[in-house]
């Protein structure tokens, strides 16, 4: 039996978590100077850190202003959208390349790819309080798409697909709580939800006007097209 030294063991463990962010979600909202609703119901309460400390994180966050540049605005916009939808850089760049090859406006195509992710559709349906929670529950096999098990959060839901909660998971407290609090943000027009059956259908593709988050996708296109 080979014994791995503690130093090497710790190094490998650090490598395993480098691909995902494990810090405070509220810190990301403060960094982008925008409430990204990453913690579900907490973001609507008085406990929201962004409401209590609406300035950049860090020791000098209140004094930090920084110089404005076109590149800075483009980079911050890209980081903001990545954090809203919970994607990594490589995956996000892949969405951009697919959007660029598709007919239509590249920026709008990019947002449509992100909106049609399975974890986002579940969040929009009100079956999860946040996209992060939806992503976790998808990986734990709580949902079916067209009566088939799908555990890939980035799965692209198509128009007419039926997304539903598995029979065994319909008593989950997280899902029931999310369904009760969805009225705060509402359900989009392009999704039809049957709460009593724990399922929803993507009835159409979202239009740009229906995406109310303050996103300037053209800045992202300018960043990647350099």
Lowest-pLDDT range, 2-6, 151-155, 168-172?
2-6
Classify residue 90: in a domain, yes or no. Answer: no
Tokens standing for 109?
A: 């195509």
Within a domain: 100: no
**Residue holding tokens 């539903």?**
164
Query: What is the arithmetic mean of pLDDT over 6-16?
Result: 43
Q: Residue 57 pLDDT > 70, yes or no?
A: no
224 assigned to some structural domain: no
pTM for the full model?
Answer: 0.78
* Residue 69 domain-assigned (yes or no): no
Residue that wins the pLDDT comparison between 88 and 61: 88
If you average pLDDT over residues 49-60, what whole number do you get? 56
Q: How confident is the model at residue 148, as a pLDDT?
A: 95
More confident residue, 41 or 200: 200
Which comes out higher in pLDDT, residue 26 or 223?
223
Domain count, the chain: 1
Average confidence (pLDDT) over 202-222 = 88
Q: What CATH number is associated with residue 192?
A: 3.10.290.10
Question: Which residues span the domain enclosing 163?
Answer: 117-204
Return the DSSP state at 208.
G
Q: Is 145 domain-assigned? A: yes
User: Is 44 a residue whose pLDDT tops 50?
Assistant: yes
At 14 the pLDDT is 40
Residue 78 placed within a domain = no
Higher-confidence residue: 94 or 181? 94
Distance spanning both ends of the chain, measured CA to CA: 52
Across the range 8-31, mean pLDDT stands at: 51
Under 8 Å between Cβ of 146 and 152: no
Query: Per the domain annotation, does 136 fall within a domain?
Result: yes
Angle between helices 106-115 and 89-101 (to 10 degrees): 130
Contacts of 118 (CB under 8 A, 6+ apart): 138, 143, 145, 150, 152, 153, 154, 155, 156, 157, 163
Q: What angle (nearest 5°) sits at the alpha carbon of residue 109, between those of residues 103 and 87?
A: 140
22 located within any domain? no
Higher-pLDDT residue of 204 and 56 is 204
pLDDT digits (tens, 9 = 90+) for 164-205: 999 999 999 999 988 988 887 888 999 999 999 999 999 999
Q: 55 or 129, which is more confident?
A: 129
What are the angstrom distances between the C-alpha of 201 and each of 52, 121, 134, 195, 209? 38, 9, 16, 11, 20
3-state secondary structure of 36: coil
């Amino acid at each position: 039996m080979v014994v791995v030294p503690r130093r090497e063991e710790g190094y490998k463990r650090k490598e395993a978590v480098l691909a995902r962010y494990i810090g405070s979600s509220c810190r990301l909202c403060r960094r982008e100077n925008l409430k990204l609703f990453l913690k579900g119901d907490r973001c609507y309460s008085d406990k929201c850190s962004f409401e209590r400390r609406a300035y950049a994180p860090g020791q000098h966050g209140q004094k930090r202003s920084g110089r404005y540049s076109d590149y800075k605005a483009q980079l911050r916009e890209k980081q903001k959208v990545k954090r809203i939808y919970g994607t990594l850089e490589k995956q996000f760049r892949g969405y951009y390349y697919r959007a660029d090859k598709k007919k239509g406006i590249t920026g709008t195509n990019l947002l449509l790819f992100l909106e049609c992710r399975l974890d986002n559709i579940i969040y929009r349906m009100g079956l999860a309080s946040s996209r992060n929670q939806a992503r976790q529950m998808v990986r734990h096999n709580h949902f079916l798409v067209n009566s088939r098990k799908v555990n890939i959060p980035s799965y692209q839901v198509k128009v007419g697909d039926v997304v539903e909660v598995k029979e065994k998971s319909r008593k989950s407290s997280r899902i029931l709580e999310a369904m009760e609090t969805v009225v705060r943000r509402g359900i989009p027009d392009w999704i039809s939800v049957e709460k009593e059956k724990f399922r929803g259908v993507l009835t159409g593709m979202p239009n740009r006007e229906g995406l109310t988050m303050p996103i300037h996708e053209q800045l992202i296109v300018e960043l990647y097209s350099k």
